[in-house]
Chains A and B, each alone.
Chain A
Amino acid sequence: MEFLKDLITNIGLRFQGLLASTSLPEVWVRVITLVAGALVLATVPLVAAAFLIWLERKIAARIGDRLGPNNSGAYGGPWGLFQVFADAIKLFTKEDVIPTTADRRVFNIAPTLALAIAVLTWAVIPLGEGLIGSDLNVGILYMLSLGSARTIATLAAGWGSNNKYAMLEALRGIATLVSAEIPQILSVLVVVMVTGSFSMQDIIAAQDVPFLFTLPITASLFFIASLVVLGRRPFGLVEANSEIAAGCFIEYSGMKFGMFYIAEFVNQLTVAAIFSTLFLGGWRGPWVGQAPVLSTLWLVLKILLFILMIQFFQYTLPRLRIDQNLGFNCKFLTPLALVNICVVALVGKAVPASTGPWVRTGALLGANVLLALVVLAVTRRQARQPAVRVSG
C-alpha cells in the first residue's frame, strides 16, 4: 500500500537501487539513469497522443452523429481502441513518395524537426509532485522558445515540398503563429510577474488559488492564443482542407505524414499541460499530501478538460478567414495583453502581498472584471459602427 501511494517515484527508486547493487562504476549508473528517464519521459507524450487520436475521432464522430472507430477487425479491441495501432502499421508499410521537384534535404528534415520539437517541451512539464524531467530555473523561457521553433518545421515542410498549396500554407501559417505568439508570451509574462519565478514547479507552488480565478483575462488570452497556435477552430488555418488541400502536409506520405500527425497531437497535449500548469494549479488537488500518485491523476483530468473543450470548439464552430484571424490577433489580443500587464502591475503594487492572499485575490479579480467590462463596452461600440469597405 505504501508502495502504491507514491507509485512512480518508488518504481524509479527501485530501478536506481537495482543499478547501484550492480558493480558498475558510478558514472555509468548516472548515465543509465538519465537515459532511461529520458526514454520513458519521451514515450509518455507519444503514447498519450495515440490515445488522443482515438478520442478525437470518437468525439468528432459523436458530434457529427456517427459512431466513429468501433471495429477494426478481430483485434479491434473494445470501442475500436486499437484502431490507432492498425493505422500505425499501415503508415509504416506505405511507400514514401517524394516529388522530383522537391528540395529533398529540407523536405526530409521537416517531419523529424516537427516531432523532436513537440517531444522536447515535455522535459520541463511537471507531471506530478516532484515528478519533472528537469526543473529548470528558466523552464518558462525554454517552453516559449520551443513554441517559436515550431514555425521552423512548418516553413521547412512548406518550402521543401515545392508545391503551391504547401507554400501558401507555410506563409499563412507562420503569419498566424507569429501573431498569436505575442499575446501568448505577454500572458505568460503576467504569470511570471505574479509568481516571480521562471520555474514551472515554483509557479505551481504559488497557486494556492489557481490563476484561472485570480487572472481570468490572462488565462483566456493564453487559451485563445493557444487555439490559434494549435490551428484549432475557430482559427483552424493550419489544415484548411477546403482551401489549400492539406496545407504543408500535402506532399508527405507514409510515416513522414504520420509524424506530422502525431506531432500535432503531442502539441495539443503540451499546450493543455502548460495551460493546466500555469492557470489550473498543475498537479495540485485534494489528498495529494497523503498519496502523491494522485497528483498525476489531477493533472491528467485537467489536461482532459482542456482537450475536451478545444475539441468541442473544433467540431461545432465555423472557421475564420485568414485576414479576420490576423486582425483579431494583432488588433484585439495584442493590445489587450499589453493593457492587461499594466493593470496587473498596478494592482499588484497598490495591494501589497502583506495584506494577505484573499485581499490580493479579490483585488486582482475585481480589476480583471472591470477590464473585461471596459473591453466589452469598447468592442460593442466598435461593432455598432457601420462597416467600412477596405480597398486593396
Chain B
Amino acid sequence: MLDQFAFIGVFLIVALIFGVAPPALASLFRPRKPNPRKAETYECGLQTPGETWIQFKAQYYIFALAFVVFDVAAVFLLPWALAYHRLGLHAVIEAIIFILILLGGLVYAWRKGALEWM
C-alpha cells in the first residue's frame, strides 16, 4: 500500500508542475505592453464604485454551518457504510435513527428559513 501512496506523491508533484508550466512557458512568448487603463478592474469602461471585499450577508454563514453539519455527519457515516456487511440489524437501526435526527435538523433549518437565498 505504501507503494500506491508513493505514486500519489509523485503524481502530486507532476500535477503541480503541469499547473505551473503553462504560464511560465507563456511568459517566454507573450508581449508585455502595460498601460494604466488596461490594468483597471473590468467594469464596462467605468470606475468600480465602492469596495469589492465587503462583508457578505449573515445568511451565508448559516448556510455554511448547515453544510459543515452534513459533512461531519457524512464523515461519521462513511466508516459505518464500510462495515455495513459485518454489522447486525441493531447497528443499522442505530445509524438510521442518527440519519432521522439529521433529517429533523434539516427540517428545523428549513422551517427557520435558513435554506432561503435572499
- List chain A positions with a Cβ less than 8 A from chain B: 34-35, 37-39, 41-42, 46, 91-102, 108, 111-117, 119-120, 123, 133-137, 141-142, 159, 162-165, 167, 171, 175, 178-179, 181-182, 185-186, 189-190, 192-193, 196-198, 245, 250-251, 254-256, 258-259, 322-323, 326-327, 330-331, 334-335, 338-339, 341-342, 345-346, 348-349, 353, 390, 392
Asked if B70 is an interface residue, CB under 8 A from chain A, the answer is yes
Which of B13, B20, B78 lies in contact with A112, CB distance below 8 A?
B20
A392 to B33, CA, bound (A): 48
A94 near B42: Cβ-Cβ < 8 Å: no
- Measured CB to CB, the closest approach of chain A to B63, in angstroms, equals 6
Which of A189, A254, A338 lies in contact with B78, CB distance below 8 A?
A189
A346 to B8, CA, bound (A): 37
Label chain A's interface by main secondary structure: helix
A259 to B78, CA, bound (A): 34
Which of A159, A163, A189 lies in contact with B74, CB distance below 8 A?
A189
A136 to B4, CA, bound (A): 6
A120 to B84, CA, bound (A): 29
B92 near A119: Cβ-Cβ < 8 Å: no
Of residues 12 through 49 on chain B, the ones whose CB sits less than 8 Å from some CB of chain A are: 12-16, 18-20, 22-23, 25-27, 29-33, 36, 38-43, 48
- Once A162-B52, A193-B81 are accepted as A-B contacts, the answer to whether A120 and B11 lie under 8 Å apart by CB is yes
Residues of B with C-beta under 8 A to A254:
26, 30
A111 near B19: Cβ-Cβ < 8 Å: yes
Size class of the contact patch on chain B: 35 or more
Which of B11, B15, B56, B81 lies in contact with A189, CB distance below 8 A?
B81
Residues of B with C-beta under 8 A to A181:
67, 71
B74 near A185: Cβ-Cβ < 8 Å: yes
B40 near A134: Cβ-Cβ < 8 Å: no
Residues of B with C-beta under 8 A to A198:
82
- Measured CB to CB, the closest approach of chain B to A239, in angstroms, equals 15
| CB<8 Å pairs between A and B, sample of 5 | A112-B20, A112-B23, A164-B52, A179-B67, A259-B22
- Once A93-B30, A189-B77, A390-B116 are accepted as A-B contacts, the answer to whether A137 and B22 lie under 8 Å apart by CB is no
Residues of B with C-beta under 8 A to A111:
19, 23
Which of A116, A334, A353 lies in contact with B18, CB distance below 8 A?
A116
- Once A119-B18, A164-B43, A189-B77 are accepted as A-B contacts, the answer to whether A92 and B29 lie under 8 Å apart by CB is yes
- List chain B positions with a Cβ less than 8 A from chain A: 1, 4-8, 10-16, 18-20, 22-23, 25-27, 29-33, 36, 38-43, 48, 52-53, 56, 60, 63-64, 66-67, 70-71, 74, 77-78, 81-85, 89, 92, 95-96, 99-100, 102-103, 106, 110, 115-118
19 other A-B residue contacts (CB within 8 Å) besides A178-B63, A330-B106: A37-B7, A93-B26, A100-B36, A102-B41, A111-B19, A112-B19, A116-B16, A119-B18, A141-B78, A163-B43, A175-B117, A182-B67, A185-B74, A192-B78, A255-B22, A259-B23, A322-B117, A331-B115, A338-B102
By beta carbon, the residue of chain B nearest A262 is: B22
B1 near A137: Cβ-Cβ < 8 Å: yes
Residues of B with C-beta under 8 A to A192:
78, 81-82
- Once A100-B39, A136-B4, A348-B84 are accepted as A-B contacts, the answer to whether A178 and B67 lie under 8 Å apart by CB is yes
- Once A175-B63, A196-B82, A342-B99 are accepted as A-B contacts, the answer to whether A163 and B41 lie under 8 Å apart by CB is yes
- Measured CB to CB, the closest approach of chain B to A61, in angstroms, equals 27
- Once A186-B74, A330-B66, A345-B95 are accepted as A-B contacts, the answer to whether A167 and B48 lie under 8 Å apart by CB is no
A113 near B70: Cβ-Cβ < 8 Å: no
- Once A115-B18, A133-B11, A323-B117 are accepted as A-B contacts, the answer to whether A334 and B106 lie under 8 Å apart by CB is yes
A330 to B65, CA, bound (A): 13
By beta carbon, the residue of chain B nearest A158 is: B52
Residues of B with C-beta under 8 A to A326:
63, 115, 117
By beta carbon, the residue of chain B nearest A194 is: B84
- Measured CB to CB, the closest approach of chain A to B23, in angstroms, equals 5
By beta carbon, the residue of chain A nearest B110 is: A331
Residues of A with C-beta under 8 A to B5:
134, 136
Which of B43, B64, B83, B118 lies in contact with A323, CB distance below 8 A?
B118
Which of A162, A338, A345, A353 lies in contact with B53, CB distance below 8 A?
A162
- Measured CB to CB, the closest approach of chain A to B1, in angstroms, equals 6
Which of B14, B33, B67 lies in contact with A95, CB distance below 8 A?
B33
A94 near B30: Cβ-Cβ < 8 Å: yes
By beta carbon, the residue of chain B nearest A92 is: B26
- Once A133-B11, A338-B99 are accepted as A-B contacts, the answer to whether A98 and B39 lie under 8 Å apart by CB is yes
- Measured CB to CB, the closest approach of chain A to B75, in angstroms, equals 9
